[in-house]
Amino acid sequence: MNTDRVGYSGLFVVALYGMISSFLMPLGQLREPGPGFLPLCLSTILVILAGVGVISSRPSQEDLARTEPFWGNMKSPVKIVVTTGLAIWAFEPVGFLVTSVCFLGLLFRWVSDYPWWKAVLLGVCIGGAGWFFFAKLLGVSMPGGFLGW
């Protein structure tokens, strides 16, 4: 597959969307540009560049030599993204301490493949240390969550 072509196509679509959004904004005149003026210029240029890219790109050496699927092993990245997403979502309601302990524990178990007990232990120790260092020592304001910690 032609990696570059796919990449440029993605940019093309994004830029097109940008052009449409910019048209909806007040454009002003050349002498007094409105908010939509610059976004429109930029997305237009990007559409052109991406278009050129789509047309002129060739499969690279890597593409021709590639045997495995393009995305490679996505298991770990997906797990990390999902776990981080959960952590961010829980951050304010549940509180920093509990969230970070669970977050670390989950990652250690799920992605790093530590046995359960190790994952939990590491999560508690590191999460606790982090909480102590940042929230208590440095005084950075972290959410306490419903437990108030």
Residues 75-104 that bind other proteins (CB under 8 A): 76-77, 80-81, 84-85, 87-88, 91-92, 96, 100, 103-104
Minimum Å gap between C-beta 85 and other proteins is: 6
Binders of other proteins among residues 116 to 145 (CB under 8 A) are 122, 126-127, 130, 134, 138-142
Q: Measure the CA–CA gap between 19 and 67, rounded to whole angstroms.
A: 38
**Total site size for other proteins, rule CB under 8 A:** 71
* Cβ contacts of 54 within 8 Å, gap of 6 or more: 5, 8, 9, 12
| Residue keyed to tokens 């959410």 | 143
Question: x/- contact string, 5-34, with other proteins (CB under 8 A)?
Answer: -xxx-xx--xx--x--x---xx--x-xxxx
The closest of 148, 130, 143, 140 to 92, measured between CA atoms, is: 143
Minimum Å gap between C-beta 134 and other proteins is: 6
The answer to whether residue 53 forms part of the interface with other proteins (CB under 8 A) is yes
Q: Which is nearer to other proteins, 70 or 117 (CB)?
A: 70
CA torsion through residues 8, 9, 14, 15, sign: positive
Minimum Å gap between C-beta 74 and other proteins is: 7
Minimum Å gap between C-beta 100 and other proteins is: 5
Provide the residue type at 54 as one letter: V
Q: Which is nearer to other proteins, 67 or 141 (CB)?
A: 141
From the centroid of its chain, how far is CA 31?
38
CA torsion through residues 94, 98, 104, 110, sign: negative
